[in-house]
Structure 1
């Protein structure tokens, strides 16, 4: 192939390889009562640990389930934290020991030991459009 064609092919088709992708999220096993579901997305261990999300959504949870889509994401690794705000105060409530008392979950259905899971445990690789399911506990 001549060099000019190679450059033109890269210019024309290169952006397609780096195209944005959508992550479809299905949430299951929530309470039957209608409640807001808070979902935060993270793209690094640091942002996951500090709670500084790159995207967030609040969607209605009905009959124990919900669906949402995060659109236009570049390829990479992402982790989600979710919780159901059953009492409507806008935060994940915990008991005196610090254990959550409202339904919550993480991508990959990840679980932590004596706390939340790590970013690596919850991270989902996104190289193109994808769908995941998160089960609340």
Structure 2
């Protein structure tokens, strides 16, 4: 018999006690998006937690929500404190991608957190980054 290991029920209680302070630090990120098309469309939203993920298109989380009257609201729950960036686009023709013209410029509406703008492309992570602390955060993006 090993007297150093607690019984299974006690182990679960100990694990919950250790993890509960981490849950108390989690915050929700609420997003309001405006400037979409007057017709119904789908809004694609991606959340990134690092510059490398943002540059590589590897999102931490993603959501799709309907745009109604050019606007939508959504929420990412339980985020650990840190820096996050959002990338959004309105799929106006229902093909599931951001369409571009022959030179690569978007022809559907798009946006980034902080309403960041890039120079001949997407902005960098730092321009779009939001500081999420232990309190809930509300932000907005105006599609262009």
TM-score by length of 1: 0.88
Q: d(CA) in 1 for partners of 2:82 and 2:23?
A: 13
Q: Calculate the aligned-residue CA RMSD, in Å.
A: 1.6
Please say which structure displays the higher CA radius of gyration: 2
Query: Residue 49 of structure 1: SS of its match in structure 2?
Result: helix
How many residues get paired?
Answer: 126
Cα offset for 1:18? 5.2
Find runs of 4+ consecutive structure 1 residues off by over 4 angstroms: none
TM-score by length of 2: 0.84
Q: d(CA) in 2 for partners of 1:69 and 1:21?
A: 10
Q: Deviations over 1:80-111 (max 9, x none)?
A: 00000001110000000000000000000000
Q: d(CA) in 1 for partners of 2:89 and 2:112?
A: 9
Partner of residue 5, structure 1: none
Cα offset for 1:15? 1.1
> CA 1:17/1:85 → structure 2, altered by over 3 Å: closer, same or farther?
closer
Give 5+ residue unaligned stretches, structure 1.
1-10
Give 5+ residue unaligned stretches, structure 2.
1-16
Partner of residue 33, structure 1: 39
1:92 is aligned, of 90, 95, 98, to 98
